């Protein structure tokens, strides 16, 4: 199983280091192989590192809301629900992980 990490990238076009599918990378946080920092697509991330993908989605949701530079109490219901869903998906990924 590949060892996957989260890295910061400038974005662009690349191929997944695991499945070789072409993908567009947004600038910011990305999944990557630990040994050579090659990008990993969300599908392979879900298959090989679901909790890490959940954490990445949680960070993206939080960043999207924080960049609006508004007080936390001024969030719309949809934004609270997006954060809650990302946190829930991350926790569910940890729960579904086989215990060693």
> Would you list the domain boundaries of the chain?
1-48, 49-100
pLDDT of residue 77: 74
Q: Which of 40, 49, 48 is nearest to 7 (CA)?
A: 40
44-91 pLDDT, tens per residue?
999 998 888 888 888 887 777 666 655 555 667 777 777 778 777 776
The SS3 call for residue 67 is coil
Low-confidence winner among 5-9, 37-41, 56-60, 63-67 (lowest mean pLDDT): 63-67
Bridge partners (DSSP) listed for residue 6: 31
Q: How many of the other CB atoms lie within 10 Å of CB of 97?
A: 11
């Amino acid at each position: 199983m590949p060892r996957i990490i989260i890295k910061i990238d400038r974005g662009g076009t690349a191929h997944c280091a695991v499945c070789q599918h072409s993908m567009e990378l947004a600038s910011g946080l990305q999944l990557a192989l630990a040994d050579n920092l090659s990008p990993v697509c969300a599908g392979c991330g879900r298959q090989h590192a679901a909790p890490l993908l959940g954490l990445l989605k949680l960070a993206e949701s939080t960043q999207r809301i924080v960049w609006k530079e508004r007080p936390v109490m001024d969030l719309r219901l949809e934004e609270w629900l997006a954060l809650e869903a990302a946190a829930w998906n991350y926790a569910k990924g940890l729960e579904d992980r086989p215990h060693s």
